[in-house]
Amino acid sequence: MRICIDTQAAIGQQAGVGRYTRCLVEELARSHGGHDLCLFYFDFRRQGSPFPAGDFEQRAVRWCPGRIVQKAWKTVSFPPFDWLAGAAELYHFPNFVRPPLTCGRSVVTIHDLSFLRHPETTEAGNLRFLRAQIHKTARRADAVITDSDFSKSEIEDLLGLPSERVFAVHLGLDQHRRKTGAEDIAALRSKYSLDRPYLLSVGTLEPRKNYAFLVDVFERLESFEGDLVIAGMRGWKYEPLLERVRSSPLAARIRLLEYVEDADLAPLYAGAELFMIASLYEGFGFTPLEAMSYGTPVVSSTGGSLPEVLGDAALLVEGFESGEWVAETERLLADGDRRSELAEAGRIQAGKYRWERTAAKTLEVYEKIGGD
């Protein structure tokens, strides 16, 4: 079977869907079950493919900017994707929406429906686009892949899809990531001037991550004399958070690192006293799992899929009453044995999520849909 994957997100996005696309494709390239694999992308600026040469075809459109074609898809549903990418038995679109097609079966990955559950947290232009496209995509796709059982239930509920057309495929962690020791952590602390113990949260600066609430909690931690470190690129609607930090009486102890290179993330996770995530809604939850993989205990909300993905290996706090978060966090900071238990349980939990398993489950969906 010839399988064509739209890999544009792997070029345009470092995190999120871009990361998903890169990791999935890299694993599929190693274990594509004898199927013919074609990777499609736009390359008007001649930047080249994000993937090295391998046992697959890479097909680029260089005569036209991708943004022009994508605008045409949004407005007039033309030209068909297969006219650009070539004919295939199956097409996979990893970034929420399905462009027009004239042949083949299609699989779309809809990672979550936060834009329907919490539209106030979504960037306005993206919200308009997704609202206009998501129901059409759901009707036209032969199958939908999503990141968790929670998101599968959301898609069935909010988009009205039958269960047999929606497949929950958990994402993976890089099991070959670099080891991190005391010297790495010390170098990281020196690089970013992290002179005190710190609590850590990682993720794009946007309302769904609920960072302002985390600042509230941090300000009330009387027994903790360290810093709050938030590492994430500026996304959308982040201005209130920046103002909240500027006006905080503990502003000097709140560090917004913005983008952190991949090589620095490992020691940043490993050096934290705790990892904290207060997200309103997650379709999966990469960052707390990454923290767990480096032995950092996690304090988490129960937003979306987080209880499913983190299991009993994190301290889960129901709701967003800051007093309860403060009490639970201070108890954990004072209890070294409990932190050690969570650190060990977290490593085990994180080890369950592997990209080779994600790729294998994705291939099963391809073969089920393409083999009908």
CATH of the domain at 244: 3.40.50.2000
| pLDDT at residue 371, as a whole number | 72
Cβ(113)–Cβ(27) below 8 Å? no
Cα separation of 315 and 325, whole Å?
A: 10
> What pTM does this model have?
0.94
- Write out the chain's pLDDT in tens, 372 residues: 999 999 999 987 777 899 899 999 999 988 877 899 999 999 988 888 888 877 889 999 999 999 999 999 988 999 999 999 999 999 999 999 999 999 999 999 999 999 999 999 999 999 999 999 999 999 999 999 999 999 999 999 999 999 999 999 999 997 666 678 999 999 999 999 999 999 999 999 999 999 999 999 999 999 999 999 999 999 999 999 999 999 999 999 999 998 888 889 999 999 999 999 999 999 999 999 999 999 999 999 999 999 999 999 999 999 999 999 999 999 999 999 999 999 999 999 999 999 999 999 999 999 999 875
Q: Report the pLDDT value the prediction gives residue 51, as an integer from 0 to 100.
A: 85
Give the domain extent around 232. 182-350
Alpha helices in the chain (DSSP H): 8-12, 16-30, 66-76, 81-85, 114-117, 124-140, 149-159, 182-192, 211-219, 239-246, 262-271, 286-293, 306-310, 322-334, 336-350, 355-370
200 lies in a domain?
A: yes
In a domain, 163, yes or no: yes
Euclidean distance between CA atoms 297 and 294, whole angstroms:
9
State the Cα–Cα distance between residues 213 and 211, nearest whole angstrom.
5
79 shares a domain with 192 = no
The C-alpha atoms of residue 69 and residue 145 are separated, in whole angstroms, by 25
Does 177 fall in a domain? no
Whether residues 29 and 121 fall in one domain: yes
36 and 79 share a domain? yes
pLDDT of res. 262? 83
Residues 237 and 342 in one domain: yes
My answer on whether 62 and 109 are in the same domain is: yes
For residue 314, which phi and psi values (nearest 5 degrees)? Answer: -125, 160
Same domain, 278 and 319: yes
pLDDT at site 177: 65
Residue 246 φ then ψ, to 5°: -60, -35
Question: What's the N-to-C CA distance of the chain in angstroms?
Answer: 12
280 and 317 together in one domain: yes
Question: Are residue 334 and residue 364 in the same domain, yes or no?
Answer: no
At residue 35, the 3 state secondary structure works out as coil
Instruction: Single out the residue of 282, 298, 278, 300 nearest to residue 216, CA to CA.
Output: 278
Domain count of the fold of the chain = 2
Regarding whether 344 and 360 lie in a shared domain, the answer is no
Instruction: Examine the domain organization and report whether 63 and 100 are in the same domain.
Output: yes
pLDDT for 68 = 95
Burial class (CB in 10 A: 0-12, 13-18, 19+), 63: exposed
Is 195 in the same domain as 342? yes
Give a yes or no: residue 95 inside a domain: yes
Q: Are residues 345 and 361 in the same domain?
A: no
